Amino acid sequence: MNVWKTWICRLLTVNIFILFGFFLVSTLILYEFRELYNDDEILLECDNVLLGSAITDSSLMKFKVVAQKKPRVVAIGSSRVMQFRSNYFVNKDFYTMGGTSGSVIDAHQTFRRINKYYTPDVVILGVDLWWLNPNFPHTSNLGHLDALRESKYKKNLQLMEFMKDNAEMRNMLFHLSDIKELDVLGHRKTVGLSASVKADGYRLVDGSYQYGRMLTVDLKEPEELFKDTHERLDNRSRLFEAAIDIDYGELERLKALIKEMSMNGCHVVVFLPPFPDEIYNRMLNDDNWKFFLSKFEKSVKDCCAEANVQFFDFSNVLWVGSNDNECLDGFHGSEMTYTKIVKAMLSDKAFAEYIDKDYLNYVLEHPVNRFQAIPLNE
């Protein structure tokens, strides 16, 4: 009996040392990778932070920032509303929740979370094509992200999992000098490995995204930038699943969301985010998407007319005065494209009251390059 007791004690001791060593080493790496900041530390300096974790989803932090700032205007949607900037708004009173909503369900949950703290004057809602695609999974991702974020040791486990599969991340252990405290573009404090090495991340001052990797190398041409989207269309996958008709259940969810926003006193502006002309016309002339595309556009337009809210169809970048050369890839317009979107939205007089028109016109006349309207340090 004593032999078994001794053996079990030794086994437990060894396992405890292994676990202790694992969490000690992983915590040290997380520290070096600038991944250990807590939310209170980030919030304290949020106006001067570039948040780009390589370990966890960074978008959830936006809920805490928007609850603190309570901006009069918010944008809700996927990564296709991350290009709006607060600089265009009077007193910079704006925040984009872009990246929190990959579906109508998530958009509804995002609005309700914001509405717990306050009610915005204006909500800009970007509705994606796949939100109403019957062949795309319409599940909520926010609950899953919450569970990951609340797990005390999940970050340690994810670090090791990512390092196992990612040679680039493993190599960072031998190039710690490449991890910068200030991002090389906007000179903001970096939080997270992606922000500190690639200058990729959310500008927490307004929730917009800085595509550092694209802006620190030679600007690529559309042929290369659109290649991945063409592959998605070829394979009818990854947001571009083929469909003939819309999902009417999701359309009803969208109607309920717009109605709830309006009933809470928000001025609602719904828009369809842009595709490059090359990608839009490929879908428009292909039986796999053309019927679905036209029904999608008409259904959202009719939905907004029924709810008496403002609607803009910017599905093709040409319709807003932009072009394929200003697109980041096959389904993301650049900051320049979204500057022109804000300009086009001025036809909505209620929305126009919130816009700094002089600044907007200035950056349109003096762009930084074909992607950027605003200098990176602003």
Q: What pLDDT score does 120 carry?
A: 98
> Do 82 and 1 have their domain in common?
no
My answer on whether 93 and 178 are in the same domain is yes
Instruction: Indicate whether 84 belongs to any domain.
Output: yes
Same domain, 188 and 273: yes
Are 84 and 10 found together in one domain?
Answer: no
Q: Does 144 share its domain with 198?
A: yes
Q: Is residue 208 part of a domain?
A: yes
With contact defined as beta carbons under 8 Å apart, do 196 and 189 qualify?
Answer: no
Helices (H), the chain: 2-32, 39-44, 61-69, 104-117, 142-150, 154-165, 167-171, 193-198, 212-215, 222-225, 227-235, 248-263, 277-284, 290-307, 335-345, 349-352, 357-365
Read off the CATH number of the domain in which 334 is found: 3.40.50.1110
CB 140 within 8 A of CB 109: yes
Which residues partner with 200 through β-bridges?
211
- In this prediction, residue 26 carries a pLDDT of 80
Q: Is residue 156 part of a domain?
A: yes
pLDDT score, position 334: 96
Based on the fold, state whether residues 76 and 211 are members of the same structural domain.
yes
Strand segments (E) across 93-221: 94-96, 122-126, 189-191, 200-203, 208-211
Per-residue confidence (pLDDT) for residue 355, from 0 to 100: 98
Predicted pLDDT at 217: 65
92 and 2, same domain (yes or no): no
Q: What is the mean pLDDT of each run of 10 residues along the chain (378 residues)?
A: 68 70 79 90 96 90 96 98 98 97 96 97 98 93 71 76 85 91 94 94 97 76 93 96 96 98 98 98 96 98 98 98 96 97 98 98 94 92
The answer to whether residue 371 is domain-embedded is: no
At 29 the pLDDT is 84
pLDDT value at position 218?
A: 66
* Inside any domain, residue 378: no
Domain presence at residue 372: no
- What range defines the domain where residue 43 resides? 39-365
232 within some domain? yes
Shared-domain flag, residues 16 and 111:
no
Instruction: Classify residue 64 as exposed, middle or buried by CB count within 10 Å of its CB (0-12, 13-18, 19+).
Output: middle
Q: How many domains does the chain have?
A: 2
Q: Do 23 and 83 share a domain, yes or no?
A: no
The answer on 75 and 46 residing in a single domain is yes
Side chain identity at residue 40, one-letter code: D
Report pLDDT for 205.
97
User: What tens digit of pLDDT does each residue of 274-319 get?
Assistant: 999 999 999 999 999 999 999 999 999 999 999 999 999 999 999 9
Same domain, yes or no: 4 and 112? no
**Does 27 lie in the same domain as 6?**
yes
In a domain, 131, yes or no: yes
